[in-house]
Amino acid sequence: MEISSIGAAGNPGTDPVSLLMLRKSLDMQAQGVASLLQAMPQVSAASNPPHLGQNLDIKV
C-alpha cells in the first residue's frame, strides 16, 4: 500500500462528485442571493432637503 494513495483517499476535495455538488450548491446560493437582491425595494431620493444630514456634531 502506497502512502500517496492514503493521502489522496483522505482528501475530500479530489472527488469529482463532491466537486460537482459543491459547484451546484454555490450556484444555488448565487441564484438565491440574486433573487433576494431583486426583491429589495429600490432606494428613492432622500426626502430631506439637501442641507440636512450632511454634518454630525460631536461633543466630548
What is the residue type of 7? Answer: G
In a domain, 2, yes or no: no
Per-residue pLDDT of the chain (60 residues; tens, 9 = 90+): 565 655 555 565 678 899 999 999 999 999 999 999 999 888 777 677 778 777 888 888
Determine the straight-line distance between the first and last CA of the chain, rounded to whole angstroms.
71
- With respect to residue 20, please indicate whether it lies within any of the assigned structural domains: yes
Which of 26, 4, 3, 22 is closest to 12 using CA atoms? 22
Domain assignment of residue 29, yes or no: yes
**Residue 7 domain-assigned (yes or no):** no
Does residue 27 fall inside a structural domain?
A: yes
Q: Domain containing 32: what range?
A: 12-36
If one counts the domains in the chain, the total is: 1
42 part of a folded domain: no
Residue 6 lies in a domain: no
